[in-house]
Amino acid sequence: AKVPVLTIDGPGGAGKGTISSLVAERLGWHLLDSGALYRLTARAAVKHHVALDDEAALAAIATKLDVAFPVVDGQPCTLLEGEDVGQVIRTEQAGELASQVAALPSVRAALLQRQRDFCQLPGLVADGRDMGTVVFPEAPLKVFLTASAEERARRRHLQLQEAGVDASLSSLLKEIQARDARDTQRSVAPLKPADDAITLDTTRLSIPEVVDRLTELLAQRG
């Protein structure tokens, strides 16, 4: 049977992660957090002392990536070679390193099939930058989630504050703008909406409003 896929692409900090997992949970579908695969590749490279500009070695790391996403005591975990790296791969620095390895064509090629393997019944919510354009071009519903850079920095700031981390709003804004620039300007799989994507600007929307809107869209298209 054909597996229904909802792709959710957009810049960092637009709420894709939160929204994707809530929608997947509501539908009972699988979830692909493709950014985590790039973060894990960068992490594995650092761990094995591979330089972040050695494309061939990085592609080998991506191909052999030993990762698992088990649920332990009801909590989703991220294991790299058996080690729980759920926290360390979430830092701004880990995102920056991920964005560097993600700019390399052979790393992207090495992760392609691994991402497609997540496409299983009853359905998949795929979160990333190129889900609708490259990885799942046949997906019946493609959403491009955005928010202003200022709003994304503000949300990130709040999130960090809640986690007890002190960060300056202006430096967060600069980091977000730098990562947007790298992700949209790279030559391979640049961040852009698929031709048939629906763009949803979440600057003035709450999380439940976005989840409702996506569920409605799916019901219309499904």
Which stretches of the chain bind ligand C5P, using CB under 6 A? 12, 34-35, 38-39, 95, 98-99, 102, 128-130, 179, 183
How many Cα atoms occupy the beta-carbon half-sphere of 37 within 13 Å? 26
What is d(CA 22, CA 215) in angstroms, rounded to the nearest whole number? 10
Does 12 belong to an annotated binding site? Answer: yes
Quote the CA–CA distance of 218 and 88 in Å, as a whole number.
Answer: 34
CB of 117: closest distance to ligand C5P in angstroms?
15
Nearer to ligand C5P, 155 or 179 (CB): 179
Q: Is 95 annotated as a binding residue?
A: no
Annotated ligand binding at 140? The verdict is: no
Closest to ligand C5P by CB, 12 vs 123, is: 12
**Which DSSP category does 197 fall into?**
P
Least Å distance between CB 108 and ligand C5P? 7
Q: Which is nearer to ligand C5P, 34 or 202 (CB)?
A: 34
- Tell me whether residue 37 or residue 50 sits nearer to ligand C5P (CB atom): 37
Question: Residue 160 carries which side chain, given as an amino acid letter?
Answer: L
Angstrom distance (rounded) from CA 119 to CA 210 = 23
Residue 201's nearest CA partner among 124, 173, 193, 22 is 193
**Binding site feature residues for ATP:** 10-18
Question: Residues annotated in the binding site, as ranges?
Answer: 10-18
